[in-house]
Amino acid sequence: MGIATGLRAAAQGVSFLPIAGFQGSDLVAALGLKTVRDPYTDQEFVAVPRLQPDWAIVHVPEADMSGNARIYGSPFWDRLMARAARRTIVTAERIVPREELARQPERTTVPEVLVAAVVEAPSGAWPGSCYPLYQVDYPAVERYLSALDDDTAFAAYLADEPGLAARRADLATTARLADEAAASERRLSAPPAVEDETNQPGPATLVRTLGDAARG
């Protein structure tokens, strides 16, 4: 809550933003946060100072070579981080043609203007998940936890990335699933063919579109 507010202040170019909901928390004193009085209503709010990262690092399923990046599923805070940071590095499961993202520009989470570098990094979120390509690799997370106790084991962990080669082999076979998921999302969010003059998707249209998609 406080972090997102600090990032929002950075993204909006202001030095702080007021926030509701922090009142009564010991965190206000622990973080040394000050309050600000609303000049219109005289209400008091906690003021969260700008939090501007030098870099935002985001991993995405798809990006083009210029850094336009698309996320499937929740963007979490990635969209905000890219706008708050001075510059962004995108790592992507796969690099796709610009035209593919341009067909649905509203699905681009991070635009290229914010991006300094793009890295093609298959399995780049491993041992975590990357929707819709792969789930969390829990045994690999446990292997990480078991490599922490001595420096030699941890150095070996970083050097060898145990399990990553196998993970990448799996990824090749799941690329097809990603294509199917992407095609499905395109169907779901494509402008519906409605006949009314406003051409706006109403609830009935949405249900019809979802039904069409479900029927394949």
Task: Enumerate binding residues for another protein (CB under 8 A).
Answer: 1-4, 6-7, 21-22, 25, 27, 30-31, 51-60, 64-67, 71, 73-74, 76-78, 81, 84-85, 87, 89, 91, 95, 98, 112, 115-121, 123-131, 136, 138, 141-142, 144-145, 148, 154, 158-159, 161
Nearer to another protein, 90 or 209 (CB): 90
Q: What angle do CA 211, 212, 216 make, to 5 degrees?
A: 115
CB 166, min distance to another protein, A:
15
What gap in Å lies between CA 186 and CA 203, rounded to an integer? 18
* Spatial CA neighbour of 61 closest among 144, 165, 185: 185
Are residues 53 and 81 in contact, defined by beta-carbon separation less than 8 angstroms?
yes
**Which residues are CB-contacts of 107 (< 8 A; sequence separation ≥ 6)?**
70, 101, 185, 189
Residue 31 vs 213, nearer CB to another protein: 31
Separation of alpha carbons 25 and 48, rounded Å: 14
Q: Which is nearer to another protein, 109 or 209 (CB)?
A: 109
132 vs 209, beta carbon nearer another protein: 132
Q: How many residues does the chain have?
A: 216
Write out the two tokens for 110.
């991070």
Give the span between the Cα atoms of 137 and 164, in whole angstroms. Answer: 10
Q: At what angle do helices 164-189 and 203-215 cross, to 10 degrees?
A: 130
C-beta of 188: minimal distance to another protein in Å? 20
- Closest distance of CB 203 from another protein, Å: 30
Quote the least distance from Cβ 210 to another protein, whole Å.
Answer: 25
Report the residue number, 125 or 209, with the smaller CB distance to another protein. 125
Which is nearer to another protein, 139 or 202 (by Cβ)? 139
Q: Min. distance of Cβ 136 from another protein in angstroms?
A: 5
Question: Shortest Cβ distance from residue 206 to another protein (Å)?
Answer: 27
CB 133 within 8 A of CB 177: yes
